[in-house]
Amino acid sequence: MSVAAAARAEWVKIRTLRSTVGALLPVVVVGVGLAHLAGTSMRDARADGPPLDPLFPAFYGLTLAQLGVVVFAVLTIGSEYGTGTIAPALLATPRRGVFYAGKAIAATLAAAAVALVTVPGAFAAAQAALGPKGVGVTAEGVPEALVGAFLFLTLMCPFALGVATMLRSTVRALAILLPVFFLGSQGIANVPALKPVLQYMPDQVAWVIMHLTGPPGDPRFARDYGPWEGVGLLVLWTAAALAGGYLVLRRADV
């Protein structure tokens, strides 16, 4: 019994469910589509308005598109409990850590493939829509932001998988994760009293990585860390969620 065999089994599970396409296809469509819309609207903005960050429209749509990755990740473990397949899964791979690692690897690779299409697609769509106001791939800060956005979209998968494994339920996991990822986009992390804590939540970290916190140079939207520290924070969030999921799964009676 090996992690590789467990991951291959998980890959078969992922590719044989319609819900996989239902969750992941909207990531590409929404991510690229909203980038084009946001780029179009910024191209037509008045010249005397606030300064433009050409990366803002590229990644803005990802804050919504990521929800598809979250739903996909939650379903990969939540549906095992919901449909009772967790028992045959653990009969086939009784070492809980091997099963969990195989699942995390297969799901994360699927999310990475989607991110690999979505992030460059969103960037290209936004820059095409921005026209003369757009930037190229080699412009300052762009390669870093593209890599950061890819890592963010990919890491949301193991993060959500870990949370769902802790909660052992699709519904409970989505009830917690979706508000977390929606509240941030309502700007709650800009409230001065809450910012010192909320700026470290995973969705806010993603905003920093992807140049979304607000017009550059405006202190109201400044954060206490930069994009690379943000990627580090996201890795820590993911590691914590995965570890928590393992601690629950290791001892769970099925």
Partner 1 sequence: MIEVRDLAKRYGSTVAVDGISFTVRPGAVTGFLGRNGAGKSTTMRMILGLIRPTRGTALVCGRPYRELADPLRRVGALLEARSAHPDRTAYHHLLWLARSNRIPTARVHEVPGMAGREPAAGRRAGGFSLGMAQRLGLAAALLGDPEVLVLDEPMNGLDPDGIRWLRGLLRDYAAQGRTVFVSSHLMGEVAQTADRVIVIDGGRLVADTTVAELTAGGSLEDAFFRLTEGRRE
DSSP run (H or E) holding 216: none
21, 25, 41, 88: residue in contact with partner 1 (rule CB under 8 A): 88
Residues in region 165-194 near partner 1 by CB under 8 A: none
Which is closer to partner 1, CB of 94 or CB of 143?
94
CA 249/CA 153 separation, integer angstroms: 25
DSSP states of 147-177 as a string? HHHHHHHHHHHHHHHHHHHHHT-HHHHHHHH
Instruction: Name the one range near partner 1 by CB under 8 A: 90-98, 110-118, 123-131, 224-232.
Output: 90-98
12 binds partner 1 (CB under 8 A): yes
248 binds partner 1 (CB under 8 A): no
Neighbours of 83 (CB within 10 A): 9
Residues in region 16-75 near partner 1 by CB under 8 A: 16-19
In angstroms, give the least distance from the CB of 21 to partner 1. 11
8, 131, 194, 224: residue in contact with partner 1 (rule CB under 8 A): 8
40, 79, 169, 185: residue in contact with partner 1 (rule CB under 8 A): 79
CA 155/CA 81 separation, integer angstroms: 23
Going by the DSSP 8-state scheme, the letter that residue 13 receives in this structure is H
- For 5, 20, 72, 76, 179, the CA distances from 12, given in Å and listed in that order, are 11, 11, 15, 12, 31
Interacting residues toward partner 1 by CB under 8 A: 1, 5-6, 8-13, 16-19, 79, 83-85, 87-95, 251, 253-254
